[in-house]
Amino acid sequence: MARLVRSAFAGAMLLMAAQQASAQMSGDAGCEQQARHAGKLAEARDRGLSEQQAVNEVLAGEPAANRQEVAESAELLFHRFRRMPPDQAAFEFMASCLDEAN
């Protein structure tokens, strides 16, 4: 009986670890997407597009993107971080997202 309980407990722990790893991987993919969007938004801003045009351009390239998330990123990049280069924007948004995920 004790062996069965230990085995069930070990199985549950393994399942929980696998679920956490899966969530981490999907979180990393979400952060990569957010970083990619930030870089594209900053590039569009630097080309002279309006905030709305930049959002539309990113969404046209990635139809599965979250419109609200892209719009919030654009607001930051167009108003608060106007001088942030695209590669730095991608890095900063990735780092921030990973910090929030962990």
Give 29-54 pLDDT, tens digit per residue: 899 999 999 999 999 999 999 999 99
Q: Tell me whether residue 16 is in a domain.
A: no
Q: Kindly list the distances between the CA atom of residue 22 and the CA atoms of 66, 90, 97, in Å, as whole numbers in the listed order.
A: 21, 23, 17
Mean pLDDT of the chain: 80
**Confidence tier at 26 by pLDDT (50, 70, 90):** low
Q: Tell me whether residue 9 is in a domain.
A: no
Task: Indicate if the pLDDT at residue 89 is higher than 70.
Answer: yes
Q: Tell me whether residue 92 is in a domain.
A: yes
Selection from 19, 16, 23 nearest residue 8 by Cα: 16
Domain limits at 61? 28-101
Domain count for the chain, please give it.
1
pLDDT in tens, 11-24: 444 334 333 433 34
Q: Tell me whether residue 18 is in a domain.
A: no
Q: Tell me whether residue 81 is in a domain.
A: yes
* pLDDT of amino acid 21: 36
Q: Tell me whether residue 8 is in a domain.
A: no
